[in-house]
Chains A and B, each alone.
Chain A
Amino acid sequence: MHPVCILLVLLSCFSVVSSGTSAPYHGIEKYAEEYPLPKLPYAYDGLEPHIDRATVKVHHTGHHAAYTTNMNAALKEWKNDDTSDSLSRSSLLRILQNLQDIPVQYRTKLRNNVGGYVNHALYWGCLSGNQGNRTPTGTVAADINTVFGSFSAFREKFTAEAASLFGSGYVWLSRQSSTSATAKPPLVITTSQNQDTPISEGLRPVLVIDVWEHAYYLKHQNLRAKHIGDWWALVDWEAVNVLDGWWAKMDVKVHEDL
């Protein structure tokens, strides 16, 4: 074969293997001995001018990193304590879906830190600096219109929840549990306190805003409404649809495993 052809074949193989950067939430569905701090799909200044570099950096390397460290330590302690407990050797998703089965002495620590790890991975995964993906698209956009009447009605409701949440927490757009392998379950807006997650309620989150003060205080101080505006300007609807599809694959896998 001509050397250029060999080169082209090799390059196309390489691009197939590495096509699509890994989303920050990849890996939460399979067990690992230890979990790394997920890489952001953008540089620390990649969300400027909406979310500032300093905030993204401390949010990732300070807060998200602390949840990662504390989660790994708590998981290790739990595993060492009971070598027969299979839940301690399950994926983070399964752990969040079965909080009530974690031994009580580890439950709060894992609820907070696995929650913190996964919630932030999802938060990062819905955002990008890519201006091209700002219009709601795909199945999620269509289903938003069905459930909420229009995108603006959805946005108004979501924003109101984010603005009025007391204390620390998140606002979520999730699909309810899948009862069928074919039909898409309906979308629903929920809120959670602290590092609680709708995953623990059996929901599949496709969009999330972090309204803990650390998500916006450096830039906006007490003005949470401005942070909410910044966040809307960064939502990457292609990423939201990818996340939606990722859950669907998870459900298919569950049905296959049964």
Chain B
Amino acid sequence: MLASRLFTVARAFPKHAALGCLVPRLKHTLPDLCYDFNALEPVISAEIMKLHYTKHHATYVNNLNITEDKMADALKNGDINTTISLQPALKFNGGGHLNHTIFWTNLSPSGGGEPTGDLMTAIRDDFGSFENFKKELSATTIAIQGSGWGWLGFNPVNGMLKVTTCANQDPLEPTTGLVPLLGIDVWEHAYYLQYKNVRPDYVKEIWNIINWENVTERFAKARMEKLQ
């Protein structure tokens, strides 16, 4: 089922073959969206989905490719200054691409309700109840100052679930070590055309389209990787 497919971001690293011979790098691309732009209505409007995917996410992809090209050149030339100065753009655009790729899979037109099985057990173990978890993720996400994301993450060190936030497009795993399971985008572009300044309404409604199958798959994969 397409909706349950885990997206892996197209990896593209320079393949250094013989000295001076560089295999052309693969470019990052927008992942396929598993549903139409209007599929998440009335929670997220088609207008927002179209802009968010074709403009915002696409810009992150485009700028990530540009930044990686510049980075490859700088590395090839041994230009440490440039390599370092490109890092904010790499984090911003790379993080933007990673985050949105996860986000589209976290949502589904047939989503909502509550998780079951191992994920529900883990949520109850680590938060007391699903209601407690929902309250914590909602409140923490709403309270983000400026632009950022609320996350349910998996801690590979202690095997526990954790709610946390990241600013701007800072990607969860490199920033905190937590494996991302479920993200809520609260950049204003994610909701403004529909909800204006009333972020709490958007965060309240988004629970109706959470794709628990996808979150469960991510959790299972993270747990299995921890056991290895």
Contact = CB atoms under 8 A, between A and B. Distances in A.
Nearest to A213: B188
Nearest to A58: B196
Interface stretch (A75-83, A162-170, A201-209, A240-248): A162-170
A145 B75 CA distance: 39
Given A166-B92, A168-B146, A193-B146, A218 B193 contact: yes
Interface string A199-239: 00000000000001110011001100000000000000000
Interface residues of A, number: 20
Interface residues of B, number: 21
A112 B145 contact: yes
A194 interface: yes
A213 B168 contact: no
B103 interface: no
B56 A168 contact: no
Contact of A214 (B59, B148, B169, B192): B192
A166 B170 CA distance: 11
Contacts of A62: 196-198
B58 to A, nearest CB: 10
Given A167-B147, A221-B51, A213 B196 contact: no
Contacts of A53: none
Given A166-B168, A167-B167, A217 B192 contact: yes
A213 B187 contact: yes
Interface centre among B88, B92, B147, B193 (most CB of A within 10 A): B147
Contacts of B145: 108, 112, 194-195
Interface string B169-207: 100000000000000000111001100111000000000
Interface in B53-79: 55-56, 59
A72 B138 CA distance: 24
B168 A221 contact: no
9 closest A-B pairs by CB: A168-B146, A213-B188, A62-B197, A194-B146, A167-B168, A167-B147, A222-B55, A217-B192, A168-B147
Interface of A: 58, 62-63, 66, 108, 112, 166-169, 193-195, 212-214, 217-218, 221-222
Given A166-B169, A195-B145, 4 more contacts: A58-B196, A166-B92, A213-B192, A217-B192
